Structure 1
């Protein structure tokens, strides 16, 4: 009977379910995209290795501006440390003929390649000999190479960085974008020559590789103790973090965003529930005489209540099923256009449908209760 009633008013039934359809599909799409973004960020962080420890220096402590290469090399003597890669960085202008670009400059040593899990697609990475000889060589990021040379191989050619000529020895593999910034708009120079180019000998950060995953926390604590001693007991001038710390922070942020987006989308379900209640109230008014006839031939209050409640649940459940299908379809379309991978959480799909089912029950109770409380004589006389 509920299905016959829905088929008898197809357009009205569809418009009634539209709020539920939009709500369910919105929850699935937004939560799936949020989860996909979280997984992508986690994979990018994990690609750097689980043994990586990052040390960054700030300007709040006056002593932090005096952390030199010799100070950084002291960290390599800490037990459990495998390799260290001191880094100086700045923004520079790189030029080839009439084409120029503003990029990030990184000055470091040969250990950076393994510590940061960096790969080259052409040529080679900088070596310790390049650093010792202050060789004017450079490794280009993927975007930088494409901007200056197009699809050609730039290895062996020269570019100018802040007016100084450098020979290109390699091109980095594209690392994509992370946290809103590209990791391909950069150039990497040997540390010694980079300090000359930016005219600053102070180390801005140090990347450290522990010998094993089990050594990471011990090494982190030892580094913090070493730096606290170096800076006279002050800890506001530096920060020591591991990949696990970063992943925990990102997971916390993305989980909060997922809940927020899911909550916003769930409002559509409430709006859809109000629509169902309004239409069911209209349906009760239209079928007042039918209710009177049913009661006159022996239908009880519970029978009438169940009849209209079932109609409400069928409407919301159909809307939920269509919404789940539409949400999965839209998410797949998004994945294709954005060239990313999305996975559907069974719990999210199930919860979205169950929520639509509950909406039908909650917002269908009042119209059903109103119908069941009608007096047969008054209902029969209703025009």
Structure 2
């Protein structure tokens, strides 16, 4: 690519990041998504030393310096130890003309907000699963009532209670699994359609598909079917065959 009067070879593209700063203080938000990073030595060769001119009244001082070094850690628990380590290293090798800023309060607040958001999602998902499970149970109970005579005939022909239980459990699991598959299809559609629509208005909405979540959601659907289908299945299995045959 060409930047200014020079050409550069692209060796990597950074993952898109949300703007940082600009919240809860006077610091302006910084958007790193349009930045181009080049090696420091390349910068010195092409542009010479970076000269920073600082003025204090009539005093002017020129100094070659790096304005900022940004470190990223993998875990919030490592933020404070990493900051202490950087301070210790700089204090041994450089003059005390630097400052180490550890935005720990902002990170902790972000973690708390993330935890609250996740708890809200878990609560909503739990309520949805409970309502859906009760709906499945009611449907299966209605099915047992409608098929009472069929159950009596099967029992009269030698079907065991276990066979009836397994039959209705499978039916309940099939219903919840189909519902889970439909939810996965709708979710994937939203993941791909919404960013495409947002791009029309020049908005960037990064979206990712977390594959393990798909299998987890299907496993949850199967579990809900087994839990809420158990009572109707047991009720069907314990019907008296003679009374079931009399049912019209």
TM > 0.5 fold call: yes
* 2:197 pairs with 1:322: no
Which structure 2 residues correspond to residues 328-367 of structure 1 after superposition, within 5 A? 328-336=188-196, 337=198, 338-367=203-232
- 1:243 Cα deviation after fit: 4.8
SS at match of 2:206: coil
CA deviations over 1:123-166 (Å, ceiling 9, x no partner):
xxxx95585689xxxxxxxxxxxxxxxxxxxxxxxxxxxxxxxx
Q: Is the 8 A contact 1:289 1:381 kept in 2?
A: yes
Q: Is the 8 A contact 1:320 1:353 kept in 2?
A: yes
- 1:244 Cα deviation after fit: 6.4
TM-score w.r.t. length of structure 1? 0.41
Q: Point out where structure 2 has 5 or more consecutive residues left out of the alignment.
A: 1-15, 37-50, 59-66, 73-80, 90-99
**Matching residue of 1:217:** 84
SS at match of 1:242: coil
1:281 alignment partner, one of 138, 141, 164? 141
* 2:240 pairs with 1:379: no
CA 1:372 to 1:282, structure 2 compared with 1: closer, same or farther past 3 Å?
same
**Matching residue of 2:158:** 298
Q: Point out where structure 1 has 5 or more consecutive residues left out of the alignment.
A: 1-38, 49-55, 58-88, 90-103, 107-112, 121-126, 135-207, 223-239
Q: Is the 8 A contact 1:210 1:216 kept in 2?
A: no
- 1:284 Cα deviation after fit: 0.4
CA 1:285 to 1:131, structure 2 compared with 1: closer, same or farther past 3 Å?
same
CA 1:263 to 1:335, structure 2 compared with 1: closer, same or farther past 3 Å?
farther
Q: Is the 8 A contact 2:17 2:33 kept in 1?
A: no
CA deviations over 1:30-58 (Å, ceiling 9, x no partner):
xxxxxxxxx844xx44xx9xxxxxxx99x
**Matching residue of 1:260:** 120
The structure showing larger relative contact order (alpha-carbon pairs under 8 Å, at least 6 residues apart) is: 1
More strand by share: 1
C-alpha distance in 1, partners of 2:138/2:158? 28
- 1:285 Cα deviation after fit: 0.3
Task: State the number of aligned residues.
Answer: 185
- 1:253 Cα deviation after fit: 2.7
- 1:341 Cα deviation after fit: 1.3
CA 1:215 to 1:286, structure 2 compared with 1: closer, same or farther past 3 Å?
closer
RMSD: 4.1
- 1:261 Cα deviation after fit: 1.5
CA 1:348 to 1:255, structure 2 compared with 1: closer, same or farther past 3 Å?
farther
Which deviates the most, 353-362 or 253-262?
A: 253-262
C-alpha distance in 2, partners of 1:317/1:282? 20
